[in-house]
Amino acid sequence: MIAAIAEQRILEAAQRGDFDDLPGAGKPLDLDDDRLIPEELRMAYRILKNAGFAPPEVQALSEIGALERLVMTLDDVEQRSVAMRKLHLLRMQLDATGSGNLQLEAAYHDKMMQRLE
């Protein structure tokens, strides 16, 4: 409920143009910003990133995103069903690892599933 209210207010603000003149608007995001990574893990994450590896939760979220985009394009009910089951399994695995708070993403997932049905 709170997430829906927040989302609605963000959309209204965007439509009014409240975000148009923010610093950095129209510029690419700084993907090397590691302020949210605990200090003792930053060096290890940087080494893994430079070597082309990502933490398992990042890989899982990437696969979930790709699968969500695929589901949106599938017309075949059987293929969509298989993709949906795999998507559900990936989300359950990610939840089981305790790799972060997926409550907001789960709400998005549920909303997407409702639209697809």
Domain ranges for the chain, please list them.
34-116
Provide the pLDDT for residue 5.
85
CA distances from 90 to 1, 69, 106 (A): 25, 14, 12
Q: Which amino acid is at 81?
A: S
Span 12-33, average pLDDT: 80
Q: Measuring CA to CA, which residue among 102, 86, 103 is closest to residue 94?
A: 102
CB atoms within 10 A of CB 81: 12
Span 15-42, average pLDDT: 79
Tell me the H-state helices in 17-55. 39-50
How confident is the model over 91-107, as pLDDT tens digits? Answer: 888 777 765 444 555 66
- Whole-model pTM? 0.44
Provide the pLDDT for residue 73.
87
What is the Rg, in whole angstroms, of the alpha carbon atoms belonging to the chain?
18
How far is residue 87's CA from residue 63's CA, in Å, rounded to a whole number?
Answer: 9
